[in-house]
Amino acid sequence: MLTALSIRDVVLIEALDLEFGAGLGVLTGETGAGKSILLDSLGLALGARADSGLVRQGAPQAAVTASFELADRAAVAALLDDSGLNHDPSEPLTIRRLVKADGGSRAYVNDQPASAGLLRELGALLVEIHGQHDDRGLLNPRGHRALLDSFARADTAAVAAAHRALRDAEDALAAAHAEQESAARDREWLEHAVTELTKLAPEPGEEAVLAERRATMQRGEKIAGELQAIAELIDGSDGALTRLRQAARILERIAEDHPALAEALAALDRALNEGSATQEGIDSAADALAFDPAALEADEARLFELRGLARKHRVQPDDLAELTDTLAVRLERIEGGEGLITRLTADLAAAETAYVAAAEALSATRAAAAARLDAAVAAELAPLKLDAARFRTTVEPLPRDQWSAAGRDRVEFEVSTNPGAPFAPLIKIASGGELSRFILALKVALAEEGGARTLIFDEIDRGVGGAVASAIGERLARLAAGTQLLVVTHSPQVAARGGKHLLIAKSHDGFVTRTGVRQLDEAERREEIARMLSGAQITDEARAQAERLLEAA
């Protein structure tokens, strides 16, 4: 809901601060007083083209600030989040637009820089302006399907879910076909690669094991001679241990002859033990480093083959086992690809059947709702002096390539304004006055389903009077019961229905012409409606008639 509008230096408006509330507000004034300036100012805040001609003469810039209390906070919050702007849902939404006299403009949302495009998107969520040449809101066929669904209270979730499943099935089948075609081109290469890899049968970690074993055997080959020489020196027929044992046997015979000989024998025994331990260590190392030339050759050959295949396939040797499985699966898909495609084709057919069933149910709901909407609009046309006009909601199937999560229907509101005339889009065949009245009839019938919280009608009563004007006023008041509605009007019957009455007037101090707006009290309101009834010369009869209109409202 629009709560406040502040205007500075726009055309003839020097400074203007307005507050608005719920219900029906009317704006009246003599022709040329500047009602269009007010709407242009609001349009500027809602992203309309920034024209430097809007800047009041002599002022450096024009500024418009509009404040809103939000009805659909989630939609606005999502839009602001997508744009990277912050907003406290508990606070009003403030939009400010500046236009410089020398060209250029700036826009702000909650004092954060924003684009004019974002203002237009916010405007679509916040306000609908319907005038003589308006082509938005109800006149845009792209929104008719959503409006009909809201009127029908249709649940589109099942169709949306079925459409997602259909798209997934289409994507899976397309991917299978693409993979089949790509794999078929590589079949010969795949067969050779899988055969080669399967024959080698690589295992994860195998390269490290082979490399370590090869290095160990190579070290053993290098020092085998040295180990053998050491063994001969220590434990050979003429080695150190043999000589030490001989010396020990001699010492054993004479050790009792002197204590020092006994100590020498004990030391010799220790030396023999250490020597034996040394020989055992050398023997153990020799066993560990022992190698079979044939085994070394076999390990080297396999290691080189692993590394060669890894380079060939541009992977690490440890990844060869996984690559073998991957290529084998690709080859298997070629050989069994037709079966996979057959299954996915069946899945697609089932998904399409499910989508069609859900879409048909939604189409039936829309068709029934369309009949109710047509009847509701028809009931509104005669009182609005559109007796000869006919309205219909067209629900037609879309081609296969236009099916969507919203179903497979094209929905459009159409009218025929004269007997025998063909139906056509509303905007193409209705005159200015008829257009506004058709919009009002639609709005009343739709009961504001799916619409913005603030509605503005610009001279919806142009060219009509009497009973038609009264009917328009009654319907505007009815529509305003559930929303905020502002009406620029020349009709006293409509003005009398307003809960709040603003008068737009032009003043001149001899030098500068200004446009101002003020809220009327009850006495001023009666006088303004009397002026609208009688013209410049207000009569007592006009005042009495104004009083009757106000009492009837």
Contact, 491 vs 12, CB < 8 A?
Answer: no
Place of tokens 């057919």: 349
Residue 279 maps to a domain: yes
Any domain includes 447:
no
Residue 215 in any domain: the answer is yes
Spell 58-91 as b/e; 16+ CB within 10 A means b: eeebbbbbbbbbbeeeeebbebbeeeebebeeee
Q: Residue 221 domain-assigned? A: yes
pLDDT on residue 114: 93
486 in helix, strand or coil?
strand
Cα 438 to Cα 415: distance, rounded to the nearest angstrom: 9
- All residue ranges of the chain with pLDDT < 50 are 133, 135, 450
Cβ neighbors of 371 (< 8 A, separation 6 or more) are none
Question: CB neighbours (10 Å) of residue 99?
Answer: 23
* Domain containing residue 197: 189-330
| 450 within domain boundaries | no
User: Which of 313, 310, 303 is CA-nearest to residue 207?
Assistant: 303
| Predicted local confidence at residue 135, as pLDDT | 44
Do the Cβ atoms of 34 and 40 come closer than 8 Å?
A: no
Considering the domain boundaries, does residue 289 fall inside one? Answer: yes
**Number of structural domains found in the chain:** 1
In-domain check, residue 71: no
* Angle subtended at Cα 494 by Cα 32 and Cα 527, rounded to the nearest 5 degrees: 65
> Taking the CA of residue 51 as centre, how many other CA atoms within 13 Å lie in the half-sphere pointing to its CB?
10
Q: How far apart are the first and last CA of the chain?
A: 23
Task: With respect to residue 19, please indicate whether it lies within any of the assigned structural domains.
Answer: no
DSSP H/E element including 9: strand 2-10
Can you tell me whether residue 289 is helix, strand or coil? coil
Whole-number Å distance between alpha carbons of 410 and 340: 36
**Cα-based angle 395, 401, 405 (whole degrees, multiple of 5):** 65
Cβ-count burial 396-429 (b if 16+ within 10 Å, e if not)? eeeeeeebeebbbbebbbbbbbeeeeebeebbeb
What does the pLDDT read at residue 359? 96
Burial class of 355 by CB neighbour count within 10 A (0 to 12, 13 to 18, 19+) = buried
Q: Residue 193's closest CA among 304, 302, 325, 301?
A: 325
